[in-house]
Structure 1
Amino acid sequence: MHANTEHFHSHVEGILDALDKDPGHEALVHGDRRLSAGDLRGLVYATARALRSQGVERGQTITLLSGNLPETIAARYAAGLLGCPVNHLYAGLSADVHADILRDVETRVLLVDPAHRERAVDLARRAPLDRVLFLGGAADAAGPGADTGPDLSALAARESRAAMAGAARPQDVCTIRHTGGTTGHPKAICTTFEQLASSRADRYEEGGTRALVCTTLAHAAGLMADAVLHGGGTVVLLDGFEPGAVLAAVERERITHMFLLPPLLYQLMDHPAVDRTDTSSLRLLTYGGCASSPTRLAAAVRRFGPVLYQFYGQNEAGGISVLTPEDHDPRRPELLRTAGRAMEGVEVSVRDPDGHHLAPGAHGEICVRSPHVMKGYWKQPELTAEVLRDGWLHTGDIGFVDADGYVTIVDRLKDMIVVVGGHVYTVELEDVLNSHPQVAQSAVFAVPDANLVERVHAVVVRAPGGDVGEEELRAVVRERKGAMYEPAGIDFVDALPLTDAGKPDKKLLRSRLRR
């Protein structure tokens, strides 16, 4: 018998093939820089050779600490071409958490945006790294303990830009993604090259797509960028989210596609320039990552048109369900409270604590089975076995599926507030608070009292010009949800703090209350 020598074609090679179809096409925009598809393709191959010249081999973990740069995208693809797992850090985490992650995933090479030079120097002292390489703007130095490391961009400039075969194999780990670190030590979630090769996001691969990346490439925006480039589109990179800059970019670059966390969508809608900005180019405004307000979603549809697209998923599960633009009907607010219906190829089952499947409408844990469920947590078999049982991923989300197949998430299992008389689902309470015309946004969480009994607490951002008070909101909650849902305390703030992934930072809000 002959061994199967057929070359495995990874998702990275698929993207490089797509870039080669129209080399003169504009692929990346970052500030004044505009890279053609041919430029980006050549940069990926040259960067892969530069990494190999530094001793990087298949299977060695490469960690990125970098912003939304063209070099970030090229480095991700170069690492994938070599068959290396890529771990992209959220920049907003502490040095201690960063160091823990580097050690956890056995990082051999740290690739650093020069903007994070000081953190890189600190991490090089804390973690056993073979190499620290900078994505531009760094002079060569002796090693990872020095103030600077070799400039990978300069090394790549000396390498060939000719095509080269990828080294990845189907079951190799491709990405190692971490939970945001807001509920404890981050967990490392592994996805294989085979899984990403079979994963498609056709909604981003329409002709003439111009996608705006204004949240970190380490999160969902990175997956959006991959899909857009695979479809021959253009990716416009902003260094971060600032609502005025985002609106200006949408108009200037004729943006068709964009991903936002719900709190960022609200900031966009509340910006004074929104009504004088031409957003008619938008075809798909995808949102997800945390709970959203049906009231605000209806307002967004009225402002931006039928372009909203909710994506519900997890790093562990991949995509789970979607709420399409057709389902975003302000006249049907009950649909806006859902996360849509299961994606093609995804099975959703609601289970009780004993693992039994529940009937439509019954609350339980959302469990998922699909080809895109993670391989497991990095070198944590016991934790993997806890969430992956009999081929089903237990998401930790509490919700239900109605008779029409719409999935509704009511809370995270571990964040559900247990009170006298039952459970308070924070998303439901946030929906009530957000429906008040003088409330722009809210975050609800549990605060233990002196006896460690959980009390419901809310932090509220008033709408511009609003003066609603604590007692009025309590009365609204009592009327809509009953006394069990009434917050023990309500604080008013100018803005909710956000995690690096753009979600309301409830851990920080809790810590402020304990001071």
Structure 2
Amino acid sequence: MDDTTGRFRSHVEEILDALEKEPDREALVHHDRRLTAAELRGLVYAMARALRSQGVRRGQTVTLLAGNLPETIAARYAAGLLGCAVNHLYAGLSAEVHADIIRDVETRALIVDPAHLDRAADLARRVPLERVLVLGPGTGTGPGTDLSALAAAESTEVLQGAARPQDICTIRHTGGTTGHPKAICTTFGQWVSIGPGWSGEERIRALVCTTLAHAAGFMADTTLQRGGTVVLLDGFDAGAVLAAIERERVSHTFLLPPLLYQLMDHPDVDRTDTSSLRLLTYGGCASSPARLAAAVRRFGPVLNQFYGQNEAGGISMLSPEDHDPRRPELLRTAGKVMEGVEVAVRDPDGRQLPAGEHGEICVRSPQVMKGYWKQPELTAEVLRDGWLHTGDIGFVDEEGYLTIVDRLKDMIVVVGGHVYTVELEDVLNSHPQVRQSAVLGVPDANRMERVHAVVVRTPGGDVGEEELRAMVRERKGAMYEPASIVFVDELPLTDAGKPDKKLLRGRAAGPAGSALTS
């Protein structure tokens, strides 16, 4: 809220204010392009006017299908300035899923970058689109108007924001790996205070090497709001990331655990200067304590685990100080609950459980979603009595550390009890010849679930199925012993960078899981 006028000011306006304070500072880096704060700010205002000229108004939905470009960030902010809901698609989803999402959220304008013009043409055949706008000149005869050209003809002067606190700001979909994606809505009022509370006076130089549609988008917003520089890579490539960290003196970045492992395993890692790193945040899926300990030894005390959900916002953090290789039990946790967040662990009847007992993690905070887009029944299932039921199974220990042991939908029900996939993955990953693993339940001929493990060996590793089974039996008991283990060169990842268990489950359901063998 503006103290002088009482007018609501969105997070976009806060970012634009920060850009105004230091107009000459470097705000965005992409390949050979370096945009100053003034250039980015002017582009946002001009692009907002261009969108308005195309009939885009407050309360409408703007869908983005665009990569990690300066224009993508400007388009996000321009739509937000007009008070629009921004729905940023993962590029790796199928055309059918894209079309379903675009139709579902009543897209007023689809904004694409030139690399996605073929997909835009496909989508235009599948679903009626009022406007297709392109972030630059395209090739061929595909649909769309060049939004960058429209913006070049507009004024770069200040444009007052139209958003109201209750307006939907973002519509974020689940990754589409567990069925039809759900549309998660948060409001502009919830977004006024953004970012993970980074401290310190030094200038932030944040590397975005995963999609802006995921957590990297939060990081970019926080960095620009706090006077830093965002370095954009088109996607994740371990060698390119290491080179960028050294070349651009990167201080902050975000990686999903499988990408962190790729960084550690790259042949250039030990000859790359990564001393500029101050915070290497990871999260989004389960991680291996053994590999985290190795990462601390390589990169120093800079690892920072973030646990959250699109539905819940941030929940907990494991700080760099808690990433102590001498205390592996801490590396198995998701850290301590963040300030302003309440967590309760509940049993199936809704009773709160004491420290150490497993149950569903429930969250209450100002960042909990408004609800699922036009799905009141589904919203009511997960938002009950002011608490969000996350679907994650875990516990809080006596010291206040939160541990996630599984997703409710991933927990494997076997004869004699439950197998928590994260716990089994931790055991497998502790073997010195195992680089990474994924555990899932696969139904047998009698529709009973069997425990199936997919394992990536270290280079030169020759550990076999029987040795790993024996290790699991010794540490976790026969109930946790995998019925089958297959070895692959690498795990398939979703567009967000998580192990694609839906794909693995489908492969394993084939003849004896033969498609998984390598």
TM-score range, shorter chain: over 0.9
> 1:386 maps to what in 2?
381
Counting only pairs closer than 5 Å after superposition, residues 294-313 of structure 1 correspond to structure 2 as 294-313=289-308
Q: Secondary structure at the match of 2:496?
A: coil
Number of residue pairs the alignment of both structures matches = 507
Are the aligned partners of 2:44 and 2:77 in contact in 1 as well (CA < 8 Å)?
A: yes
Matches of 2:182 and 2:426, distance apart in 1: 29
Matches of 2:32 and 2:199, distance apart in 1: 24
Matched, 1:362 2:357: yes
> 1:64 maps to what in 2?
64
Matched, 1:158 2:149: no
Q: Compute the displacement of 1:464 (Å).
A: 1.2
Are the aligned partners of 1:199 and 1:372 in contact in 2 as well (CA < 8 Å)?
A: no
Are the aligned partners of 1:398 and 1:411 in contact in 2 as well (CA < 8 Å)?
A: yes
Match of 2:437 among 437, 442, 452: 442
The CA deviation string for residues 11-66 of structure 1, in whole angstroms up to 9 with x for no partner, is: 00000000000000000000010000000000000000000000111111000000
Are the aligned partners of 2:443 and 2:509 in contact in 1 as well (CA < 8 Å)?
A: no
Matches of 1:7 and 1:165, distance apart in 2: 10
> 1:19 maps to what in 2?
19
Matches of 2:155 and 2:260, distance apart in 1: 43
Q: Secondary structure at the match of 1:197?
A: coil
> 1:275 maps to what in 2?
270
> 1:235 maps to what in 2?
230
Matched, 1:149 2:133: no
Matched, 1:472 2:467: yes
Q: Secondary structure at the match of 1:312?
A: strand
Matches of 1:261 and 1:236, distance apart in 2: 18
Matched, 1:395 2:406: no
Matches of 1:148 and 1:176, distance apart in 2: 24
Q: Secondary structure at the match of 1:203?
A: coil
Counting only pairs closer than 5 Å after superposition, residues 95-244 of structure 1 correspond to structure 2 as 95-138=95-138, 147-203=142-198, 206-244=201-239
Matches of 1:387 and 1:507, distance apart in 2: 22
Structure 1 residues 93, 118: closer, same or farther in 2, change over 3 A?
same
Q: Secondary structure at the match of 1:154?
A: helix
Q: Secondary structure at the match of 1:285?
A: strand
Q: Secondary structure at the match of 1:110?
A: strand
Q: CA RMSD in A?
A: 1.2
The CA deviation string for residues 295-351 of structure 1, in whole angstroms up to 9 with x for no partner, is: 000000000000000000000000000000000000111100000000000000000
Matches of 2:350 and 2:377, distance apart in 1: 18
Paired AA for residue 383 in structure 1: L
Are the aligned partners of 1:213 and 1:237 in contact in 2 as well (CA < 8 Å)?
A: yes
Q: Secondary structure at the match of 2:49?
A: helix
Matched, 1:76 2:76: yes
Q: Compute the displacement of 1:120 (Å).
A: 0.5
Matches of 1:204 and 1:104, distance apart in 2: 39
Which sits farther off after the overlay, 444-453 or 194-203?
194-203
> 2:54 maps to what in 1?
54
The CA deviation string for residues 82-135 of structure 1, in whole angstroms up to 9 with x for no partner, is: 000000000000111101100110111000011011110111121221100000
Q: Secondary structure at the match of 1:356?
A: coil
Counting only pairs closer than 5 Å after superposition, residues 323-472 of structure 1 correspond to structure 2 as 323-472=318-467
Paired AA for residue 291 in structure 2: R
The runs of at least 4 aligned residues of structure 1 exceeding 2 Å deviation read 198-202, 204-207
Instruction: Please give the TM-score of this superposition, normalised by the length of structure 1.
Output: 0.97
Q: Compute the displacement of 1:5 (Å).
A: 7.0
Paired AA for residue 221 in structure 1: A
Are the aligned partners of 1:205 and 1:231 in contact in 2 as well (CA < 8 Å)?
A: no
> 2:89 maps to what in 1?
89
Are the aligned partners of 1:462 and 1:468 in contact in 2 as well (CA < 8 Å)?
A: yes
> 1:498 maps to what in 2?
493
Q: Secondary structure at the match of 2:191?
A: helix
Matches of 1:209 and 1:413, distance apart in 2: 37
Matches of 1:242 and 1:285, distance apart in 2: 16
Instruction: Please give the TM-score of this superposition, normalised by the length of structure 2.
Output: 0.97
Matches of 1:402 and 1:269, distance apart in 2: 30
The CA deviation string for residues 224-259 of structure 1, in whole angstroms up to 9 with x for no partner, is: 000000000000000000000000000000000000
Q: Secondary structure at the match of 2:409?
A: helix
Matches of 1:97 and 1:206, distance apart in 2: 43
Matches of 1:409 and 1:251, distance apart in 2: 34
Matches of 1:101 and 1:205, distance apart in 2: 40
Match of 2:509 among 478, 503, 514: 514
